[in-house]
Amino acid sequence: VGVIEHMENWPQQLPWAFHMNLPAVLLPPLPTNSAEELAEYAQQLQLLSQEAVKEAGYSFQLWVPLSMTAAAMEAWQFVASMANANNVGLLLQFETSPTTLDPLLYVSQQLHTLHNAIGCGPVMAVSIATNQFLTNKRGYPTLSKAQQWIAEYIMQRVGRTVRWLLQGTAAPTTTVAVLPHLQYLQHIRQRPSVTSLLDTRAGQDEADYLDALQKPLQPLGDHLGYATYEVFEKDPVKYQQYQAASRLALADLKDLASCKVLVVGAGRGPLVTGVLLAYQSLPVNERPDALQVVAVEKNPTAVLYLQSKLQQDPLWQGSSVVTIVQADLRSLAQEHTESADLVVSELLGSFGCNELSPECLDALLERCKPETISIPSNYTSHIAPVSSRHIHGKIVDQQAFYPDQGRAVGRQMAVETPYVVRTHAASQLYAEQECWSFAHPSPHNPTRFVSLEFGSDAGGGLASGAGYGAVDDKCASLPTAPDQPVVLTGLLGTFTTVLYKTVFLSTAPKHFSSGMYSWFPLYFPLNEPVHVPAGARVRTHVWRKTDQRRVWYEWSVAVRKGTDLLSTTAIHNSGGRSYHVALS
Amino acid sequence: VGVIEHMENWPQQLPWAFHMNLPAVLLPPLPTNSAEELAEYAQQLQLLSQEAVKEAGYSFQLWVPLSMTAAAMEAWQFVASMANANNVGLLLQFETSPTTLDPLLYVSQQLHTLHNAIGCGPVMAVSIATNQFLTNKRGYPTLSKAQQWIAEYIMQRVGRTVRWLLQGTAAPTTTVAVLPHLQYLQHIRQRPSVTSLLDTRAGQDEADYLDALQKPLQPLGDHLGYATYEVFEKDPVKYQQYQAASRLALADLKDLASCKVLVVGAGRGPLVTGVLLAYQSLPVNERPDALQVVAVEKNPTAVLYLQSKLQQDPLWQGSSVVTIVQADLRSLAQEHTESADLVVSELLGSFGCNELSPECLDALLERCKPETISIPSNYTSHIAPVSSRHIHGKIVDQQAFYPDQGRAVGRQMAVETPYVVRTHAASQLYAEQECWSFAHPSPHNPTRFVSLEFGSDAGGGLASGAGYGAVDDKCASLPTAPDQPVVLTGLLGTFTTVLYKTVFLSTAPKHFSSGMYSWFPLYFPLNEPVHVPAGARVRTHVWRKTDQRRVWYEWSVAVRKGTDLLSTTAIHNSGGRSYHVALS
């Protein structure tokens, strides 16, 4: 890492960093005297950033050093929005614990600031001075309890992507002198609270997906590939819950002697297997050998797989009768629909209703008996404002991509498309709220509109972390810290679903189904980052709209404080101009 | 004008309006119950606007009716930003004067609201109900003094572009019944306070320029055309002031017996004529027949004109010696520079320094004697935040234009280019402030940076009108009205210059040179409209930057209230990426 000591020297020093093939340069600290100086810093940073992208692309990084204080974060929010640069990250500098503040309150403040910084970052590195270490009884360096908590939190949140820098001042500056300090940090890294998040199989598998943008599925247009099915079938939670729900539903059927189950969108058959296992697990006297399972699938290659499965899998060849039908579930033959007692489907997307589950199941279930049970029974979309300058930058960069039509995406389309993303360098700003629900069987008006207000929520945002994974109870239990100004870059969509009665799945942090990895959140971008001062309230407007051919979302955000309207975005994706899900 | 009575009916009613070739449709009033309803209105308005542009282009207009109250304006600001539509204008509805409020305070409030509405408009029409008229002694309809003032103000500000609608409810709705009311409005239109603004030759001449975007000159690259010179030479103020300044300067020269005047950028020679007339106007004993005037001009066709002028104009053939030199003034031969006593130039642009006057004059004057006088002596750039959704919309539309390079301008370039524009459907929000100055002769560092704060300024914005023309003293003398939230769309650049000693020119409203029309303001766009709540402060950052080949401006705006940062724009035109003035 190179160092530029004075901002105005970058035109001389940056070429040297390129020449030396350095991966990053550390910039001087933000000025503290006046808004004018911050503006001048931002002006130089913007030029520097443009030059760096031109000469070295996005892999080269500019690091702005920032102390972990609310005031520093506020100054950075101003500079970052003025400079509007994608290749700038933060080097956070560990603060010395104050002796005058209640340690828990101090931890709460620092964690809020960190949460804020992760959104306004990305945080590329953390530096800690050797003289911030204490010495334990055996003479080894150690951190105070509060500092330990903070270091552990950083590792949990961004440990996979952050570098640690030890800055020695008192001790001799050889590597050996800081070795005990490094070992101590390594010791924190090995705590179960950290390894259980980062070093599990799931944690390792998702490493490639962190902050990666994925276009959401076109469920009726795309045919899934074999490998995709395989990955999702390994989810340790999802199919187990489907099986549990199926068991409850089967047990509730009046006449199991002649019952028929439709598995719609059967894919490679995991839900067929689940239904069969559920049936087998019922007490013997409750299962006359007469279960009919119809596996409905439109993807012809998946149908081939289902047919071979039927020939080879002993479970499928048991006493029940499995039938395979290649069809769009909306036009399934009357013979199957009119006699169905239970319909099992997995048409849910990252935002619940975004892969057309409502439309498809309504079309099917209105042709079934009124008492036909649907698994899932209902699902609810959730939304939360989220801060991620990192993801925002990636989305803005999408504008220059050329998809198959041969012309650039353009900014409007780039920022009006929701992306499936495993949020990482991101901070959910408030506890998520419910948007709307769909329940089956009962036909719907498929359009929805919701206006939700998010205000200071006493740590609900902090405890939600990056917006993917379960709420962090340790964070939730911290004392309330003063509200900080934040920068909003998008809305994060998740969902909860009741598969049947008490069997539940959730990607929303509040009730996250731990271990499940089948769905990442859906990120709705905002065209520009939106500033939210302390004490202000965010109002989101989200629409689910349809016409005869399409389903799409529109969204907008307004910020108010007291009666003042501070800002409002335009409505994104008006009329589905940039993104929709096709109904055919 | 067609009418859509319920917002949700537009898909049925809009095609009918197209079919009937109507120029506009009047939309239902804004809902008043909740922010949700306003959001739904905005969502429909955005769709409607897109559909109207697709079917009928920008000539077809959507009119939103709005009462002239601060609350209605605030609701409209929210809806307009959410809907982000360019083809929507306002139909303002006259309010009935309250009997409980001091009439002057009422007028002040209404004028502030109107000023606000003109920025958030465009205001396309004003409606007034016949029952808002009083009856005078002779039985004719008349308006209260306060209403008269308001009607007169509307005519002064937007009389050339607004329609008046009379809505009769009590009286029979035949045309004849409202004829006396129309005649009364016509009577206000004929007041000298209105006709002196709208019906003068200058007022008529500028009609085609209202809100029209002009690219600023590239003074060293472009050669002006004959017609352009001719138009500007007719300015009744500018050359008169140059002549007065020249007379003062000539009178101050030590030795008039052998003096030399350089007229640089002579064009078709109006300043040569001005200098000669100024010389003639000196007392006889002060002007030995020895004035040398060197007309320096780089434009070859202008040089041809100067040569014919020299052969035919008796004034030019008088006792003085006029020499014509075709040259870039920066490389003028030493024989002319070293002996020059007075340099007269008119290199000023709409923002003062934006046509490279500092660079050109510095290059010339450093090769002259230290005591050489420059006309102009100094000039100061001014700036003021301005509100104009109308101009903003036009600028955004520029993005789709194809200039000579064969590819679309694109949004970034469109919104990062300053435009010369005779602001009309625009409201200057605060009294303008000084950015920076250049004084001659004395070489400069040509770069500048200024950070200015604009806050509630007790009517200074109102009195500045559209930002072009003199301050309206009648408005300035009104009692202070409560601060209203406004929407900022750009910065308006103007300038003042001291030609010599007491001789002064100004396009800044505060000291506007009445009658002068040579310069329209320079409008610096903002990428998106910026909301400024009541009591908030706007901080502008403006840079004048140079490198070896170019001069350009960068600009940014931040809004704060108390210590809260409400929003900040990115720095526009960073590094001159979208717009610059070439130095060669």
pLDDT, tens digit, 9 for 90 and up, residues A422-480: 999 999 999 999 999 999 988 888 999 999 999 977 778 999 999 999 999 999 999 99
Contacts 24+ apart (CB under 8 A), B325-328: B325/B294, B325/B295, B325/B296, B325/B297, B326/B297, B326/B298, B326/B300, B327/B296, B327/B297, B327/B298, B328/B220, B328/B298
Interface of B with A in 536-575 (CB under 8 A): 536, 539, 541, 543, 554, 556, 558-559, 561, 564-571, 574-575
pLDDT of residue A242: 97
Reading the block at residue B29, the tokens are 């009033």
**Which residues, 6 or more positions from B319, have their beta carbon under 8 angstroms from its beta carbon?**
B289, B291
Closest Cα in chain A to B535: A564
Residue A170 has pLDDT above 60, yes or no: no
pLDDT of residue B85: 87
Give the model's confidence band at A331: pLDDT under 50 very low, under 70 low, under 90 confident, else very high: confident
Mean pLDDT of all residues in A237-247 = 96
Share of chain A above pLDDT 90, in %: 71
Shortest Cα distance, chain B CAs vs residue A410, angstroms: 9
pLDDT of residue B22: 86
pLDDT of residue B404: 63
Digit-coded pLDDT (tens) for A472-511: 999 999 999 899 999 999 999 999 999 999 999 999 999 9
pLDDT of residue B141: 92
Task: Output the CA–CA distances (angstroms, integers) from residue B132 to A496, A566, B167, B409, in the order listed.
Answer: 58, 36, 10, 49
Digit-coded pLDDT (tens) for B182-225: 999 999 999 999 999 999 888 888 899 999 999 877 777 777 78
pLDDT of residue A223: 78
Residue B520 has pLDDT above 90, yes or no: yes
Shortest Cα distance, chain B CAs vs residue A273, angstroms: 46
Reading the block at residue A47, the tokens are 């030029």
pLDDT of residue B443: 81
Candidates A78, A84, A411; nearest CB to B411: A411
Give the model's confidence band at B173: pLDDT under 50 very low, under 70 low, under 90 confident, else very high: low
* Cβ-Cβ contacts under 8 Å, A84 against chain B: 570-571
Q: How far apart are CA A538 and CA A542, in angstroms?
A: 13
Radius of gyration of chain A (CA): 27
pLDDT of residue A330: 86
Interface of B with A in 485-524 (CB under 8 A): 485
Digit-coded pLDDT (tens) for B354-371: 999 999 999 999 999 999
pLDDT of residue B99: 77
Number of helices (H) and strands (E) in chain B: give both, helices first: 18, 25
Reading the block at residue B505, the tokens are 């020119």
Shortest Cα distance, chain A CAs vs residue B387, angstroms: 15
Candidates B47, B84, B451; nearest CB to A35: B451
DSSP assignment of B419-475: EE-B--S-EE-S--EEEEEEESSS-----EEEEEEE---TTHHHHHTTSSS---HHH
Q: Chain-wide mean pLDDT for chain B?
A: 91
Task: Output the CA–CA distances (angstroms, integers) from residue B448 to A21, B378, B573, in the order listed.
Answer: 35, 15, 15
Is the Cβ of A530 closer than 8 Å to some Cβ of chain B? yes
Closest Cα in chain A to B575: A47
- DSSP character at residue A159: T
Residue type, A184: Y
Closest Cα in chain A to B484: A564
Candidates B83, B528, B564; nearest CB to A571: B83
pLDDT of residue B54: 86
A256 within 8 A of A536, measured Cβ to Cβ: no
pLDDT of residue A53: 87
Distance, CA of A126 to chain centre: 23
Residue of B405 and B542 predicted with greater confidence: B542
Q: Please tell me whether the overall predicted TM-score, pTM, comes out greater than 0.90 for this model.
A: yes
Interface of A with B in 450-469 (CB under 8 A): 451
**A561 with B564: Cβ contact below 8 A:** yes
Residue of A291 and A439 predicted with greater confidence: A439
Reading the block at residue B348, the tokens are 């000023």
A489 within 8 A of A538, measured Cβ to Cβ: no
DSSP assignment of A531-560: EE-TT-EEEEEEEEEE-SSEEEEEEEEEEE
B557 within 8 A of B385, measured Cβ to Cβ: yes
pLDDT of residue B176: 61
Mean pLDDT of all residues in A134-152 = 92
Q: How far apart are CA A552 and CA A576, in angstroms?
A: 6
B509, HSE (Cβ side, Cα atoms, 13 Å): 28
Peptide bond into B446 cis (omega under 30): no
Residue A174 has pLDDT above 70, yes or no: no
Digit-coded pLDDT (tens) for A81-120: 999 988 899 999 988 878 788 999 999 999 999 999 999 9
Residue B27 has pLDDT above 80, yes or no: yes
* Across A514-528, B4-18, B401-415, B518-532, least confident range: B401-415
pLDDT of residue B100: 82
Share of chain B above pLDDT 70, in %: 97
Is the Cβ of B84 closer than 8 Å to some Cβ of chain A? yes
Interface predicted TM-score (ipTM): 0.91
Give the model's confidence band at B95: pLDDT under 50 very low, under 70 low, under 90 confident, else very high: confident
User: If phi over 0 gives left and psi between -120 and 50 gives alpha, with beta otherwise, what is residue A424?
Assistant: alpha
Residue type, A227: A
| Beta-bridge partner residues of A294 | A262, A323
- Is the Cα torsion angle B457, B459, B462, B463 positive or negative in sign? negative
**B449 with A40: Cβ contact below 8 A:** yes
* Cβ-Cβ contacts under 8 Å, A47 against chain B: 574-575
Digit-coded pLDDT (tens) for A50-74: 999 888 877 788 999 999 999 999 9
